[in-house]
Structures are given as C-alpha cells and as structure tokens.
Amino acid sequence: MTLPAHSTAAALNEPDPLLYKQVFDNAIVGICFMQGRRFLQVNRRMEELLGYAPGELLGEPVRKVYARRQDYEDVGAVVAKVPRDNVYLHERALLAKDGSIRWCLIGGRWLKRGDASSPSVWVVQDITAKKQIENQLARANQRLEQRVQSRTLNLQKTNAALKLEVERRRATERAMIESREKYRVLIHNIPLGIAVTDTDGGIVEINPMLRTWFSARDAEHFVALADQIRCRVLGVDGETSLLEMIHSRAASRRSDHLTVLWQADSGETRWFDVVGVRVPVRGLGAAVVFADRTEQRRARDRELAQQQQLAHATRRSLMGEFASALAHELGQPLNASLSYAAGLERRLSNELRDRPDALEALHAIQLQLRQAGDIIRNVRSFVTRHRPGDEPVDVIALIYATLELLQLQLREEGTRVLVKAAAAVPSVSGNRVELQQVLVNLIVNAIEAMRAAETLRPEIRIGVARSTGGKLTVTVADNGPGVSAEHQATLFEPYVTSKRDGLGMGLMMCRNIVEAHGGQLALDARARSGARFRFTLLGIKAAHG
C-alpha cells in the first residue's frame, strides 16, 4: 500500500498530503499495514521498537514478531472471523530482532468491514515499562500486605491511604511526562514554523522548522534576525519587521490569519500564513504559527498564467478569422481603385505629358495600391507560421524600394536614413512583400519612437552584412530613446505595446515572418543608445555588383 502522491496544484486551504506521510513516518507509536498477515508498510517507530532496519519487515509474515506460537494462533483465530465491530485490541509479547521481549498494546482495524482478506491497519504501542512497573508494584504490594497483616487495623488504614496517594502522584507524574513528551514531539516535527512567547511578548523558543526557514541557530539568534528582516502583510500598506509582526500576533486577542510576504537573501519570495494562538500555560503568552504557502501561491500563479495564455491563443484565433474576413472585404475595393488609377492614366496620357509631377504622383498611387493588395493577400500569414515563397529577393534593392514607399513620412519627420551594405551581398529566397513588411514595421517604429521622444536630428541606420553559414544580417538602428528594460522581456509577445493606439501585433508578426524564412529577429541589448533590431536571412547566391 502506498501513500497518496503530493499534488502541486492543491488548493490554498487543503491539507498537504505530505503531512499525512510525515505523521505516519514520525508517529510516536508503531503503525503498520498488513494483508494476509504479512507486512505491507511499516513506519519507522515500529521498526525501531522491534530493532529492525528500515524496510526490513516489508513482505515478512507477522509470525516473525510473535514471541509465542500460541499467541500467534490465538490472534489468528480472532482475525480470521473479524470482530463484529471491525476492531481488535489486545496485549501481546512481541519478539524483537535481538531476541528481547517487548510488551505491546496492539489495536487493528480492517479497511473493508467484515472482510478478513482486506488490508488492515494496526497501531502498536510499547507498554513494556508499564508492565514492569505493574510487576514491581505487584511485588511491592505483596510485601506491603504481609507487613500490614502483622500490624493493627489503624496502621492498615493509614498504609492504604498512603498507597492511594502514591498511586495518584505517580499517575500525575506519568501524565506530565507524557504531556511534555507529546508537546516536544509535536513542536519539533510538525511541518509548521512555531515561535513561543512569554507573557511579555518575548520569544523564548522556536521550533526546528522556523530555524531552518530563517537560518537561525537558536531563539536568540532568531530574534536578532527577525528585527532586521522586512516583510509585508497582505492588505496593509507599508512594511514592518518580522519581529514587530510576531509581537502584534502574540499580543492580539483574536486568532486572525495574516498573509505575510517575505524575501529571502537569495531573492526568492516566500509566502506565509501567520496566526497567533494563546497558550494557557503559566509563564507563556502565545504561540505564533507560520504555514508556508509559497508552493500554493506559485501553483495559483501558474494557473493564472495558463489562463492568460489560453486567452492569448483565443484572441490570436479570432484575429486570424478577422484577418481573413478583412482581406476578403478589402481586396475588391483595392483592385477597383488600382483599375481606376490605371484607367485615369490612359485617359489623361496627353495631359500628363506636360505634368510630370502629376504623372509621378499617379505612379506612386498605383505602387501603393499594389503594395496594399500584396499585404492584404499575405495578411493571414502574419498571425500564423507558414512556408514563405521561394522567389529570389535582392535585399539591397528591397531596402531602397521600402525607403521610396516611406519617403513622404521620412521627409515630414525630417529623418535622415543611412544605408551601409557589404560588397557581394547574396540574395535570399522568400516572399518579397512579407520581407518588405518587416522593414516597413521596423522603420516606422523607429520614426514614431523618435517623434514621441522629440529626438533632435532623428536618424535611422540600416546595415546589411554577410555572416557565417551563408547568412545575411540586416540591422535597423535609430538614435531615439531605446527600449526600456521593463518592455524588453515582452517586446515580441502579442497584444503587448507601449503605444497608446497600438495593437501589440507588429513585432510579433515580424518575428513570425523572419522565422518562417529560416532566420531570427531580436533586439540588440548591447546598443549603447537608441534601439537596434537585427534579423538574419539565408542567402542563396552572391549579388552582382
């Protein structure tokens, strides 16, 4: 039989399954599970009681620990029928591994009522000392009775009264010893941190668990540490010292639970539930109990993160459906606009010969309309991973074509653009429109960032270089404010943006496009000023130049 497995997703107020295992392993009485009169599971106390090493009794027949065969057969006759109340309690002499005798009080219960073949649980308590005391008392009483018989009736009455007083005191002393031992075992083995205070609120004792959590040698050392440790109580503004928080719980007449946040020297955040309990013992004030809820908090945070990821996935699915519908609805008016522009150029061909500026503007309109149509046809690929096209793309020519598309915006913002390319730059295989969309997004982001920061003499530097493995590296850098540290970790996540009107999809789409072309897109954190993005593409042949 095995104990229940620990669940990391346990609710905040559910008992920790490890607690049951620790109670089993650290119980002050022997506990075992049996079936067919063989040991299935034995706790450490029972192994120590009978002098066996851990696991040595597993699978062994119970006959091995009976001192007398008659006892084994008598008990077997009872368990074969299963008592009516499903419980069997008896005292027997058990045989330790070293041959010594241990008198034990044994109690058992079958897991399936009335079924002798079902597993059963047995609790074994060592009463050897009790038996010895009883035997000693029996012999003492026998001698006392012989003396009493030779004395007068009054002396008999006096001795009888004295005997009763002695028994009462012995019982009281035993009860005090047992109570003190139970308290010691509890406070040293319970999986909770406990600080015991005196009536003035001073800490007089802490248990091993609390010492471990706070790396304290003893109670005095813990007081010194607690006076320096800063913690925050959930729902209360500001911070307080751990020592002040303990004093407040010890002085409180109410047993309210507090949730306390504490950060260890390693930087790890720990969560504790803290409650103060009055101790009705002379000289003691209260016990302040700490329950570590860190794992439960982390499990809840993981669950919230999974919910957010599910929400993101849902929104991305909706975005894909929306993009498909948008492409369908916009495709027809864009095509019609392109046809009207082409028709206008044909009808006004004679007039446009004398107006080169108007003809250039009309060509720009058609170019932009074709670009928009290409973008609409590829918009679905921006939110999903896909296989790019395999047309050869001249990256240098693509950069200059992109700057031509954005010349009006660059001119209005007064942005200077510098292009630096290595010799014999290879072409790449891919989708020209999608790669141009990456360049457009990175350049427009730089323009908007420098405009928002009111950068003097805004400048964009575009570099193209060859790298190892036949790859091509493209960098887009600006002299703007750069990307703050808090936004760097989530820069490429969907729906995350620092712009007031942004959707948080641009950089995520760019990364999808680059990765679909076998490359990588990243922010260069080593840039001393401004923002510098770098992406790689796989070259197919050297460009002629």
306 domain residue, yes or no: yes
Nearest to 437 by CA among 360, 374, 345, 528: 374
Phi-psi region of 173 (alpha: psi -120 to 50; beta: other; left: phi over 0): alpha
Mean pLDDT of 376-390: 56
Confidence bin at 323 (pLDDT 50/70/90) = low
Residue 480 burial by CB count (10 A; 0-12/13-18/19+): exposed, middle or buried? buried
Top pLDDT among 257 and 192 is at 192
376 domain residue, yes or no: no
Mean pLDDT of 22-31: 88
Confidence bin at 56 (pLDDT 50/70/90) = very high
Question: Do both 282 and 402 map to the same domain?
Answer: no
Confidence bin at 12 (pLDDT 50/70/90) = very low
Question: Do both 61 and 77 map to the same domain?
Answer: yes
377 domain residue, yes or no: no
What percentage of the chain exceeds 70 in pLDDT? Answer: 85
Give the separation between CA 251 and CA 234, rounded to whole angstroms. Answer: 19
Supply 528's token pair.
């001393």
Supply 316's token pair.
């991305």
8 domain residue, yes or no: no
Least confident of 114-118, 198-202, 450-454, 490-494: 490-494
CB 503 within 8 A of CB 449: no
379 domain residue, yes or no: no
Question: Do both 538 and 393 map to the same domain?
Answer: yes
**The total number of structural domains that make up the chain:** 5
End-to-end CA distance of the chain: 78
CB 349 within 8 A of CB 377: no
Confidence bin at 10 (pLDDT 50/70/90) = very low
Mean pLDDT of 128-142: 87
In terms of residue numbers, what domain contains 230?
192-292
Give the separation between CA 190 and CA 208, rounded to whole angstroms. Answer: 9
Cβ contacts of 399 within 8 Å, gap of 6 or more: 419, 439, 462, 464, 474
How many residues are there in the chain?
A: 545
Give the separation between CA 144 and CA 310, rounded to whole angstroms. Answer: 83
Question: Do both 399 and 272 map to the same domain?
Answer: no
Question: Do both 203 and 179 map to the same domain?
Answer: no
CB 110 within 8 A of CB 132: no
439 domain residue, yes or no: yes
Question: Do both 416 and 469 map to the same domain?
Answer: yes
Cβ contacts of 520 within 8 Å, gap of 6 or more: 514, 535, 536
Question: Do both 536 and 473 map to the same domain?
Answer: yes
Give the separation between CA 363 and CA 278, rounded to whole angstroms. Answer: 87
Question: Do both 179 and 196 map to the same domain?
Answer: no
Confidence bin at 464 (pLDDT 50/70/90) = very high
378 domain residue, yes or no: no
Confidence check: pLDDT of 62 > 80: yes
Question: Do both 471 and 508 map to the same domain?
Answer: yes
Confidence check: pLDDT of 78 > 70: yes
Question: Do both 393 and 532 map to the same domain?
Answer: yes
Top pLDDT among 59 and 253 is at 59
Least confident of 123-132, 223-232, 302-311: 302-311
- Angle at which helices 432-452 and 356-378 pack, to 10 degrees? 110
Confidence bin at 308 (pLDDT 50/70/90) = low
Among the candidates 365, 396, 421, a domain finishes at 365
Question: Do both 348 and 413 map to the same domain?
Answer: no
User: In Å, how far are 162, 190, 424, 468, 543 from 396, measured between CA atoms?
Assistant: 112, 71, 11, 19, 9
Nearest to 422 by CA among 473, 487, 492: 473
pTM more than 0.75: no
* Residue 449's CATH number: 3.30.565.10
Nearest to 311 by CA among 510, 490, 493, 515: 493
Question: Apex CA 25: angle with CA 24 and CA 27, to 5°?
Answer: 65
Supply 240's token pair.
């307080």
CB 426 within 8 A of CB 539: yes
Phi-psi region of 451 (alpha: psi -120 to 50; beta: other; left: phi over 0): alpha
Which residue is listed with tokens 């989530």?
490
**Helix (H) or strand (E) segment spanning residue 438:** helix 432-452
pLDDT tens digit sequence for 181-237: 776 777 778 888 888 888 888 888 888 888 888 888 888 898 998 888 888 888 788
Question: Do both 25 and 66 map to the same domain?
Answer: yes
State the CB neighbour count (10 A cutoff) for residue 121: 16
462 domain residue, yes or no: yes
* Residue 225's CATH number: 3.30.450.20
Beta bridge partners of 328: none
pLDDT tens digit sequence for 465-496: 988 777 899 999 999 988 887 788 778 776 66
